[in-house]
Amino acid sequence: MVEALHDDHSESDLSTLYDNRFDGRQEYRRRVWSILVSNWFSRFVPPDGTILDLGCGYGEFINQAVGKSRYAMDMNPDSRRHLDPAVCLFEQDCSERWPLEDHSLDMVFTSNFFEHLPSKAKLAATLREAWRCLRPGGRLVALGPNIKYVPGAYWDFWDHHIPLTEASLAEALRSVGFQLETVIPKFLPYTMSQGPQYPLFLFRLYLKLPLAWRIFGRQFLVVAKK
């Protein structure tokens, strides 16, 4: 849902694409992410944990996550001005070595980012960096559009490159050494960059009804443990 961009584009391209895609929707996205963080993703973060938001975009997740140390990574130059001042931003190619020590993170979170990487080799290198930086027992939590359920609409975004399913991402994670904890093929609806802005009480209700995920879900949720 936070659609971050990758190094196939210039910095000005990233700013323009992102601004056009989410123009007028940032406040709604922030409120939705407040619900997601408090109702769902906070369970994966120890109160004194260290978190990295990979492909952070405008910081909708990391700004609301609670942790001792918070990091973000994105090549969009506009990310910095949207992030909480306490969040440390790394503006770099995520497939290159991260400026973090081995075993220094409790959680790597990413949403709607992996499909923007230019190749599977870049994705594999990114997953290896996540593995290196996570502590034993640390988790990688990934949301993303599942091409099995959005086959045509997936390519409506200019910067989508890698078609992924929950199964293909799970296989990639296992190949790096992760153990899978949770694999949900259909979790959230496809996107918040288009479509109606539903009342937030309906979204809270949706999160409590797994049966509704099977009907409306188009994004996978994969949680893997080191």
List pLDDT tens digits, range 125-172. 999 999 999 999 999 999 999 999 998 888 887 888 999 999 999 999
User: Dihedral, CA atoms, 149, 151, 154, 156, nearest 10 degrees?
Assistant: -130
Q: Does any domain span residue 30?
A: yes
Q: Does any domain span residue 1?
A: no
Q: Does any domain span residue 2?
A: no
Counting the structural domains of the chain, the total is 1
What's residue 4's pLDDT?
38
pLDDT band at 76 (very low <50, low <70, confident <90, very high): confident
Rounded Cα distance, 97 and 146, in Å: 28
Sheet holding 134-145, edge to edge: 88-90, 69-73, 50-54, 105-111, 134-145, 219-225, 179-188
> Is 32 in a helix, a strand, or coil?
helix
Q: How far is CA 51 from CA 83, 95, 112, 158, in A?
A: 14, 18, 17, 29
- CATH classification at residue 86: 3.40.50.150
What's residue 110's pLDDT?
98
List pLDDT tens digits, range 16-42. 545 544 455 688 888 999 999 999 999
Q: Does any domain span residue 19?
A: yes
What's residue 196's pLDDT?
74
Q: Does any domain span residue 5?
A: no
What's residue 23's pLDDT?
55
Pair of tokens at residue 98: 């991260």
Beta strands 219-225 and 179-188, pairing class? antiparallel
Rounded Cα distance, 220 and 105, in Å: 23
Q: Does any domain span residue 27?
A: yes
Rounded Cα distance, 223 and 226, in Å: 10
Rounded Cα distance, 126 and 132, in Å: 10
Which of 192, 3, 32, 226 is closest to 110 using CA atoms? 3
Q: Does any domain span residue 151?
A: yes
Rounded Cα distance, 47 and 75, in Å: 28
User: What residue has token string 């990413």?
Assistant: 110
User: Which residues are CB-contacts of 214 (< 8 A; sequence separation ≥ 6)?
Assistant: 186
Q: Does any domain span residue 141?
A: yes
What's residue 6's pLDDT?
43
Rounded Cα distance, 57 and 101, in Å: 23
* Single-letter amino acid code for the residue at 22: F
**Can you give the residue range of the structural domain that contains 157?**
11-225
Q: CB neighbours (10 Å) of residue 164?
A: 23
